[in-house]
Amino acid sequence: MIGGTIAAASAAVAISVGLATGGGAIGATGPMPSATSAAALSSRHTAQPEPIVRGSIIAANGASAGPVTGGTVVTVSGADLGTVASVDFGDNAGKVVSVTDKRVTITTPAATGFSTGTVAVRLFDVDGKTVPVAAPAPRAVGSAPASVAITPLSFSYLPDPRIAAQMKYALAHWQDYASGSYGRIPGNDCVNFTSQTLIARGWTMDAGWSFNAATFQYSPAWSGSTAFAAYLSAHPERAAALTDSQRELVKVGDIVQFDWDRTGDRDHTGVVTRVVKTAGSVKIYYAAHTLDTDFKSVDESLANTGGTVSYWSVA
């Protein structure tokens, strides 16, 4: 009885192993999988490498920061990054310039509302999946490598140095005229002043927009509002026209122009010094000469004159 029980149990084990392996019972004859078919089966179950970021967003100067106007070239390193297809800086899409397995080069977009501050950065692969951010974890000698999550990627938007220089000049000279350097046009110095701030911003003179320091001669575009508007219309690389219905696009350093009598001519020009955005409204303030001011409200100016206003978004 004991021997029969053992034999029956042994037979049951042999059958169960045979079913699990997909072949015959142990000791049974039959075809065995070849080395080639086994390798093919293994490859089908091998997971493809997943992209992973190891490090931070880095600009050429080594910082994770750049101006609010965008255009900063940054890189991020990692492994298996060849499938990275897109990147977001906060709510705005950056431009992926080049991709290798170990590095992604990106151009930053402008900040929302050209506002300073730090935003989260997320990379996505070709399937739209977020690329994880990790770094090697400390490990003892001889132990297996591991990874741990680190601080998510971020990028800090800083004031544009060109705009900062323009504002420094405007707020230093809105009342203290730089007559020794640029002269003064009595009763009509607004465009002369605005042009000066653009020089401080980094613009260079050309045949259509210039001031001769030796003779104190101004080109029409340097000194007259309507001529200045015509010049900007002909140079979209320098500025783009905005209507008052687009004032949410206006930023500090842009140009504001008024048509007091609604004739189509531009009668007054200034430089935007402040933009205040609240729920449902955008308030714009400007600096100007002749009507000397540093933070004059556009809406107040319109209420006083009944005119119209337009803007130039300076590149």
The pLDDT score that the predictor gives to residue 83 is 94
Distant-in-sequence, close-in-space partners of 134: CB < 8 Å, separation ≥ 6: 52, 53, 54, 147, 148, 149, 150
For residues 65 and 152, membership in a common domain is answered with: yes
- Sign for the CA dihedral angle at 51, 54, 60, 63 comes to positive
The pLDDT score that the predictor gives to residue 143 is 53
The pLDDT score that the predictor gives to residue 114 is 79
What would the pLDDT profile of 109-134 be if each residue is shown by its tens digit?
988 877 889 999 999 999 999 999 98
Residue 54 has pLDDT above 60, yes or no: yes
Q: Which residue has the higher pLDDT, 249 or 145?
A: 249
**Which of 71, 56, 149 has the alpha carbon at shortest distance from 103?**
56
What would the pLDDT profile of 72-85 be if each residue is shown by its tens digit?
999 999 999 999 99
What would the pLDDT profile of 153-207 be if each residue is shown by its tens digit?
999 999 999 999 999 999 999 998 888 899 999 999 999 999 999 999 999 999 9
User: For residues 308 and 93, what is the distance between their CA atoms, to the nearest angstrom?
Assistant: 34
For residues 117 and 227, membership in a common domain is answered with: no
27 assigned to some structural domain: no
147 assigned to some structural domain: yes
For residues 279 and 291, membership in a common domain is answered with: yes
15 assigned to some structural domain: no
Of 95, 127, 158, the one marking the end of a domain is 158
For residues 198 and 308, membership in a common domain is answered with: yes
pLDDT band at 5 (very low <50, low <70, confident <90, very high): very low
Q: What percent of the chain has pLDDT over 90?
A: 68
24 assigned to some structural domain: no
Residue-number span of the structural domain to which 150 is assigned: 52-158
> Among 9-23, 137-151, 160-174, whose mean pLDDT is lowest?
9-23
User: How wide is the angle at C-alpha 206 spanned by C-alphas 202 and 284, nearest 5°?
Assistant: 50
Domains of the chain: total? 2
CB 101 within 8 A of CB 82: yes
For residues 109 and 171, membership in a common domain is answered with: no
Residue 27 has pLDDT above 90, yes or no: no
For residues 154 and 275, membership in a common domain is answered with: no
7 assigned to some structural domain: no
299 assigned to some structural domain: yes
The pLDDT score that the predictor gives to residue 49 is 78
For residues 119 and 217, membership in a common domain is answered with: no
For residues 301 and 197, membership in a common domain is answered with: yes
9 assigned to some structural domain: no
The pLDDT score that the predictor gives to residue 3 is 45
For residues 98 and 166, membership in a common domain is answered with: no
Of 99, 129, 158, the one marking the end of a domain is 158
User: How wide is the angle at C-alpha 194 spanned by C-alphas 188 and 198, nearest 5°?
Assistant: 155
Query: What tokens appear for 96 in the block?
Result: 């992926």
